[in-house]
C-alpha cells in the first residue's frame, strides 16, 4: 500500500502555506501548487526541513 499524498493549491504563502504545514503532520508527501514559484520554493524548502517529501509545482 502506498502512502497518502495531500495536494495543496495556493501553497506559497498565507492560508495555503499554513494548510500545507498542518497537512505535513499527517501526510508523508505533499504536492504543492502555486503561481508564485519563488515563494513556493521557499515553502517547499521549509517543509522539507521538517522531513516532508514534497513535489512543488509552479504554473
Number of domains, the chain:
1
Vertex 29: Cα angle to 44 and 8 (nearest 5): 60
Q: What is the DSSP letter of 52?
A: -
Q: Can you say whether the dihedral through the CA atoms of 34, 23, 41, 56 is positive or negative?
A: negative
Q: What is the pLDDT of residues 5-35, one digit of tens each?
A: 889 999 999 999 999 999 988 887 888 999 9
Which of the residue ranges 2-6, 15-19, 37-41 would you say has the lowest mean pLDDT? Answer: 2-6
Give the pLDDT band of residue 48 (cuts 50, 70, 90).
Answer: confident
Q: How far apart are CA 45 and CA 4, in angstroms?
A: 20
Domain region containing 10? 5-57
Beta strands in 1-59 (DSSP E): 5-9, 29-33, 53-57
Output the pLDDT for position 30.
85
Is the pLDDT confidence value at 54 over 80? Answer: no
Amino acid at each position: 500500500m502506498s502512502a497518502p499524498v495531500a495536494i495543496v493549491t495556493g501553497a506559497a504563502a498565507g492560508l495555503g502555506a499554513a494548510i500545507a504545514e498542518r497537512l505535513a503532520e499527517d501526510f508523508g508527501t505533499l504536492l504543492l501548487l502555486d503561481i508564485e514559484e519563488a515563494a513556493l520554493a521557499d515553502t517547499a524548502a521549509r517543509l522539507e526541513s521538517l522531513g516532508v517529501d514534497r513535489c512543488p509545482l509552479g504554473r
